[in-house]
């Protein structure tokens, strides 16, 4: 049994884009004019969407609670990692400090709590497909 590519992509996109946009809106509401978009600001949404999608498609079938734990941990680790890479690429003298500051700020802007809530909500709606060992196609739906 595996998650369909369309379901995994929709899940990853909703989790990543939804939480990222909410964090951005809260950030803009609390500090209008402070956000100056750069190309590196899109690194995290792209990497997180690809990583969460790959995790859902490549991981063995898991109970729902393990999917939630796995994906929340993945999202929470990717956020400071991408922030650190972006800070390093922009010439920050202390990219690790910026990475952890970004993670703390993501708690205050509700980006991380929104991601955790969206993961818990959307993990129950992942579509799976049964793999028939004697067949070459994956067309049997089991959801």
47 vs 30, higher pLDDT: 47
Can you give the pTM of this predicted structure? 0.84
**How far, in Å, CA of 10 to CA of 1, rounded?**
18
Q: Which two tokens stand for residue 35?
A: 């956000």
| pLDDT tens figures, 76-97 | 999 999 999 999 999 999 999 9
Task: Count how many residues are written for the chain.
Answer: 143
Q: Specify the pLDDT at position 131.
A: 66
The domain ranges of the chain are 2-141
CA distances from 42 to 11, 48, 49 (A): 18, 10, 11
| pLDDT tens figures, 101-134 | 999 999 999 999 999 999 999 998 888 877 655 5
Q: Which two tokens stand for residue 103?
A: 């993670």
């Amino acid at each position: 049994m595996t998650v369909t590519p369309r379901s995994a992509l929709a899940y990853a996109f909703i989790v990543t884009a939804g939480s990222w946009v909410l964090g951005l809106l809260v950030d803009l509401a609390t500090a209008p004019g402070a956000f100056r978009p750069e190309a590196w600001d899109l690194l995290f949404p792209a990497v997180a969407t690809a990583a969460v999608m790959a995790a859902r498609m490549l991981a063995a079938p898991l109970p729902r609670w393990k999917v939630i734990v796995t994906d929340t941990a993945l999202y929470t680790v990717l956020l400071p990692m991408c922030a650190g890479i972006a800070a390093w690429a922009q010439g920050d003298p202390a990219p690790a400090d910026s990475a952890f500051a970004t993670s703390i700020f993501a708690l205050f802007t509700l980006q991380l709590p929104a991601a955790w809530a969206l993961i818990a909500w959307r993990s129950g709606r992942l579509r799976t497909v049964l793999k028939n060992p004697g067949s070459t196609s994956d067309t049997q739906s089991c959801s």
